[in-house]
Structure formats: structure tokens, C-alpha cells
Chain A
């Protein structure tokens, strides 16, 4: 077992260090025909907000070489609807469920954790922070979870916010950190003509080109952080996962690569288990 929340009273133990990233895997069993869920360390849900959110206007995806720019707007039907639809399934899944939560402010976060009271199928919260989150706001969001619930808390840091947010959050008692959410990017729309300034699409970047950036972050920050770190961004092979773990990451999250190779989650989990002398997976 790998402990993602060693300082938490209940802890957050996971059986394998491999899990999907928020936004890559849906809310529950969307991949039941394609993925062996027994190989996952945890299910990290699609980002969930207190109130329903609509999708961003299309186009929502642009391909440039191996890199994807995606802007979905994190559509979701809101926490109540998600809980109604998935709590029974989560209870049956047989693996820890980590709810990825988006909250605009601490008051909203309090409402979220109030609604989660008594939800036994949820094992932890991963709080998603956007690029503009200040240290004060990040700490206030963490406090509002801590004071109102018993859930282990992971914070997924924005790519550009690691330097400012990681240490204050670790000092404030976050259980683990996910490094990082996808960096933001901008690309001209492919159908734009050459005249004038082209219409642009803003969004999140995915793809193997991000992997060296991830390793740089892990290399810089893991030695300075007293909490477990989950690596996320551009991981697309067992060798990538091994490199993250070798730098001290406790677990890895796979993002857009899952859409192309859903079986990669199980493949990496099995190969890492084999490395560790566990052939039972």
C-alpha cells in the first residue's frame, strides 16, 4: 500500500501508484469495457462544481503536432446530481474515490463539504486551483475543507503556481499535492485565414511534450516538500512513470493519453508492481 495522506487520521492508502487525472476518465465506470479498474490506485473524478456548469463554446480541441489544446469549460451537472448518479457505483467500485472539486471561493467550498458529509464512498478530495489563485485564497479553501470535514485533502497545483503555493499549502497541512494541472496555452484556430489577427483558442495543454516540464517541477520541488507528491502531466509510458517515482513522486496520474490508450493505466500499474516484486496484479 502507498499512503497518500500519512499525516491524516484516516489516511488515504492506495494499492497501486497509478490513477487517471481529473478530466481524463469521467466520473465512474465510463471505461468499464476498456480498463481493468483493479489496477488503479484510485479513481479521480472529472472536475465537479457545486452548481452545474455548461460546456465552453466549440471548438474545444486543437491538435498541434503531439500537443493538444483543450478547453471544455469543465461542464458538469453539479455536485448534487453527481452524488445522486454515482454514489452507489463508487461504493461498488472497490477502490478509493477522490473527488476533484472546483470551488470559486471558501464559502462555496464549505457548501461542497457540507454536502459530502456522510458520503462513505468518497475517500478524499482533490482541490483544483486555477492559475490566478493567490496564496491567501488557496489557504482559505484548504481551511474551509479542514474545518468542515474529515476528508484527506490533495491540492492540484496550477502549473504556474507551484513556486508560490506549494510550500504554504504544505505548511498549512495539506495531505498531498498533485504537480501539476495542465499549463495554459493559446493557439490560433485552424480554420483562421491569414488576414488580420486570427481568432485564438485558449485552453489547457496536454501531450508528451509536457513531460520534461513535469520532471523539472518534480526535481525542483519534491526535495523541499514534506508531503507526498502525485505527478501529473505528459506521462505516457511506464518509463515516464518510473522516472517520476525515481524523483520521489508517490503516485502518477495519466491524463489525455488515456483516451488513446486506456489500457496504459493497467499496463503501467502491472509493470510498476513487477518492479516492486509484486506479480499478483
Chain B
């Protein structure tokens, strides 16, 4: 299998870098918007509410899309080594997503669309402080991102099914249930990253279909407002799409750790029966966990609420027992080389588990009664997205830069970056958790006390965090330059 991969490698890494650098660039812009929001909540800067909510909408949509782009590019690159993939299709998906981002951007600046990235029906249409064209452009933008996502998922699905012998092979069914026969057949189990690709593709297509259905309904409603939509139906579909899409960014990015971390530890991370079964669990849980977004909709069918809690709890098992435990075991008493890359990958796993713990707490129906739509929600998802997914991506980028430049960062540099990104990040996140426990609502341009005071602490944390990212960027540029000097 490695023959075509080698031939294709330059083109494949170009795909990866284009996806990832676009994602990181969007991330950088959106981080500044995040700081703006927190400073406004702290009353450090004045901001018109219309502007605040427009910024909030763009930040949410932009960040999730940015992380999706990084995951898509990274996983595409890894799967291309398993089986040569069409770069054309990868560029189509990229072009669609980027076109969608541009449309969303224009709908917010100058359109001031501000119904939240969750565009919950009927808010985009009723009592809007923005022109109708902005609503249409935003919906079109999200639809384009979704179509790009569907293109990518379809290619991944085709890839894993064709490479490992159908769905059954891609699931490693025989490895789990007929291990002797499987070993005797001389076949190889899919590598760990292939499970990430399978889960992203399958759950991604389900979510993409839900998003497409509600997206078309919303666009048709925008064109012809007399067509009614059921608000509960729209909410279910919107969150199935939004939750699953956001959630999958983690499961895509972890593939980078499956491949990167063993190289630092000089050990192997291979597919076992346990790993396969864990990913089956993830496949199921990711598709069902979104129910926890509707706990406070008491009209939702009762069994679905209970399923939501059970599945949300179970979703913690694959990472806690298999992936992160496995990652810890991988480096336990190894000769791990601590570099920027390995530091980020390892720290990202910590952030994933801590944020997951916060999520499981909030996924308890009884506790959700007093945490739902408080700052606890951004608290936990920023923990595993900012101190999880973002770190996995940065870890991979540094891994690439370190391998190609054969250089490393100094201990001082690593401490500086760690203090900034983990230390500043901890202050930023802690402020969210404390606010949430105090009942401060999320998505408030003007918060009741003690919100503003907490926001001030958060802003200090964010500034430290952003300094960490700037230092990190400078270091990345330095390594990238070295690489260019090394390859004539």
C-alpha cells in the first residue's frame, strides 16, 4: 500500500497544509473575536448588542469550521497513505467549505446576522436586527460548508470501505469476533486512524443529511415564509447537525495523535480488539448524544431524554478507558522526546478528559436544570476544543515542522508557551466554570453580577493565552524557515 502513497506524498502534504493553515488562520481571527466578547462582558469596551451577537455568531461558526478544516486535512493526509485518494475531491470539499465561510463572514460583516451559529428556527426570521439578505446569505453559507463536509465524508467513507473490505472490514468485525480466523487469513486490521475516518464519515454523513434537510427547509422558509416548520423538529435536526459536527472535530483530530505520539515515544500504537470495540461505541454514542441539548424541552419524548443521559455518560468510556488511557500507557516509562509537538499532543488529551468530565456533569438531566445555558456550557466545550482539539492540531503541525527541520524548540520556549497557553487558558476556562456555577447565563451581552467581574478575570487569562499563541506562532515560523533552508 505504501507505493502510491510515496508517489503522492508531495501533493498530499500540500492538501494537508492548505486545509490546516486555512483552519489556523480562521482560528486566529476568531480568537480575537472571543477576546472582544469577554472584554465587552467585563465592560472594558463598549459594544452595541447587535454587534456583540453578530460577533458571537461568527466566532461559533468560524471556530467550529476552522477545527473541522484542520481535522479534515489531517485525516485526509493520513488516509491517503493507506490508499491514494483523489486530490481533486479534496480541493472540491475545501473550496465549498471556504466559500461557505466567506458567505457566513459577509452575512455577519457587514450584514450583522446574529441569530447564533445554531440558527435556531424561527430566530433567524423574527424580530431580526439585521436585513433579510443577511439571513439568506448565512443559511447559504452554512449549507455550503455542509456540502463541502458531505463531499469529504463521502470520500472518506468510500476510502475506508474500499480499503479494508467493506463496512465489516473497516469495523474490524472479524478481528473482534473471529480473531483466530482473522490472524490466519493474513489480513491486516485497519490502523487506529482508520477508525477515526470511519466514524467521522458515517456520523458525519448522518449529521450532514440532517443539516441539509433543516437547511433546505430554512432556505425555503426564507424564500416563502408561509411554509411553516415545526420548531421542535427544527431544533432536533439543528442540534443533531451542529452537535455532531462539532463533536467529530475531536475524533478527527485524535487521529493525528494516534500517528504522531508513537513516533515521539518510539513505540507502537496498533489496533487491538479493545480499540475497535471502543470506536464502535463512539460511532453509536456520537450519533445519539445530541439529545442532551434538549433536556429542557419537556415536550421531547421522555425515553429520548433518558437515552440522552445514558449515552452521554457512555460516550466518556472510549476516550477515558481506551484512547487517553492508551496514550498514557504509550508514554509510560518510554523515552518520549519532549518537544512542542509531543507536549501539545499530550496536553490535548488532558484537556479532552477534563472537558469531558465537565460535559458529563452537565449531561445529567437533574444538574442540567441549573446549568443549561449558563456559562458552564461554553466552559466545558472550550476545555476540550481549545485545550484539546486545538492542541492536537498544533501538536501535529509542530510534529511536521520538527521532523522536516530536524530541529527542536528550547526548554525555555516550551515553558513560555506552556505557561501562556495552559496557564492563561486555565484562567479563561475557570472563569467560565465559576460563572456557570453562579448561574450567569451564556450568550448575554450584558451579564448580571457576578458576570462582569468574572469576565474581567477571563479577559486577563485570554490575553496571557493569546501571548502564548503568538510566541508559539513565532516559533513555528522559525522552524518552518529552518526546514526551507534544509531542503534546497
Chains A and B bind each other: no
B residues apposed to A, CB below 8 Å? none
